[in-house]
Amino acid sequence: MTNVETIVRMLEQAGVRWVFGIPSGPVLPLIEALGRSPVEFVLTASETSAGFMATTVGQLTGVPGVCAATVGPGATNLTTGVGCAWLDCAPVLAFTCNVSSPWLERRIQMRIDHNALFRPLTKATFGLGVDDVADRMAEAVTLATAEPPGPVHLDLPEDVGVAVSVGEAPARAPASALADVAGEARAALAEALSRARRPLVITGLTFTRCAATDSLLRFIERHHVPFVATLHAKGFLPESHPNWAGVIGRARRTDVQRMLDRADLIIAVGYDPIEINYEEWVGETPVFHVSTMPAEPDPRVRFAFNRGGDLDQALRRWEDLPPAANDWTPEEWEAHRSGLDRELRPRGSGFAAHHVLDTLRAALPADGILAYDVGAHTHQIATQWRTDVPRTLLATNGWSSMGFGMPAAYAAKMVHPDRAVVGVVGDGCFQMTAGELAVARRRNLAVPIIVLNDGWLGLMKVKQERREFPLSGVELGTRADTPPHYFGVPCRSAENLQQLEAAIQWGLHLDGPSVIEAFIDVEPYSTTVFD
């Protein structure tokens, strides 16, 4: 057995189904070995998209997503996708296929130091040798899936890949147990609640890896407290619940902030400040932080509790805490939600993003998946879109790279072929990743991509306006007619609600990919994104 065959066998054992990437000479031995395996090599239009698709698979399944690139420019392209896995905490194995070992230290065509390149973006970076491939693979799989999950980079020289393997593949090592902080957290929370009159719960990225979500919901109901979430935590507590109070740091953030400012205790559960730092929004309110990792201390943040450990154990110990009275009323929560919904939909605007989202939400089943990109629409979707189902809203927040939405939508459809999946991207994002339509066409992925075409890089336009800068470098150009197809993928345009409704139904009922170009008004973003 060669080393590439050992790698493929160990990917099979880990539950991997796909390797995303682009071929080249050094990658061919790995692709050839995959061809004799149930693990499938998936050709993407760019290595960046391969990293985004691997990230999405890792997030949705808990099994490492896998991506591969060639030496030099292939590796540099891959880093953007791998960075998403790093800051959004997804288990990923990222392979770079390198020149042969005798050339690794020479200044030759295409070669750069891959390990130095990936070191700031990964949990670990390994240069594979002839006699350590199996051991390194086992270590990489364990490390990628250990809390907090993230990417591990493996650099495979071409001669190492085709060499005969040394020894047997070791068994996968169990992940280290997290510290038990349940008793300490329960006692500290009981004391904090006894002093608080307006406690409020916030959930974040780490909560999305928690199995005890129902325990937290029962605590919320028993103690009669409102809850908010970050972008990543949407749907892990039901947003139709009467205690739901919004999403922090996104559209109409000032409305949500007013609710936060009324709290006298923030109970942060699985909160990862990578999404938004505490000091940006908590003010003087004390913070009770419990997650798998403690939060980094900051003199501007008053921590009533700050511990990392087994989050599930901690939450299960909260369920029978005696309820403490507080001053919140359901009426003020309802008034807050009603006002928030109203302000998200400015009156007098033309055909706008909020119209598109309401129409799509009505058409998509409760377990339908929406993947979306980075831009002004990110803010609107995060606050306006409501879901009660975990992992049905896919975005990047820690990394926040444009170009995520389309690859994520296609990867989600591969993971969940029987569920409705839709991608929503801005026109700038679409220009970056339109080539991935060819991937959807080859695989016949029935995913409509809705392009919000407002003619601008809308988020940058709003930021320039807020700073009173002249508009520069943010206009994408005048409107052009929608073509009949891109790469063989059929397209339709919509300029109003009636046309949009018809186009969405058309896209959802096709047996393959589609593009819906919605020509919307950019101006409503000016009153929703940062207000």
pLDDT single digits (tens) 372-427: 999 999 999 999 999 999 999 999 999 999 999 999 999 999 999 999 999 999 98
Q: Which CATH number fits domain 3-162: 3.30.1280.10, 3.40.950.10, 3.40.50.300, 3.40.50.970?
A: 3.40.50.970
Q: Which CATH class is domain 182-338?
A: alpha beta
pLDDT single digits (tens) 312-341: 999 999 998 999 899 999 999 999 999 999
Three-class HEC string of 32-59:
HHHCCCCCEEEECCCHHHHHHHHHHHHH
Q: How far is CA 23 from CA 32, 36, 152, 260, 285, in A?
A: 10, 16, 20, 50, 53
What is the structure's pLDDT at 196? 97
Query: At residue 456, does pLDDT exceed 80?
Result: no
pLDDT single digits (tens) 9-22: 999 999 999 999 99
Query: At residue 91, does pLDDT exceed 80?
Result: yes
Predicted confidence band at 458 (pLDDT cuts at 50, 70, 90)? low
pLDDT over 90 for what percent of the chain? 82
pTM confidence score: 0.94
Residue ranges per structural domain of the chain: 3-162, 182-338, 344-528
What is the structure's pLDDT at 107? 75
pLDDT single digits (tens) 130-166: 999 999 999 999 999 999 999 999 999 999 989 999 8
What is the structure's pLDDT at 480? 67
pLDDT single digits (tens) 238-294: 999 999 999 999 999 999 999 999 999 999 999 999 999 999 999 999 999 999 999
Q: How far is CA 420 from CA 29, 50, 356, 416, in A?
A: 36, 22, 17, 8
| Rounded mean pLDDT, 184-198 | 97
Question: By CB neighbour count within 10 A (0-12 exposed, 13-18 middle, 19+ buried), where does 211 fall?
Answer: exposed
Q: Which CATH number fits domain 344-528: 3.30.1490.270, 3.40.50.970, 1.10.3720.10, 3.40.50.1950?
A: 3.40.50.970
Domains 182-338 and 344-528 share a fold: yes
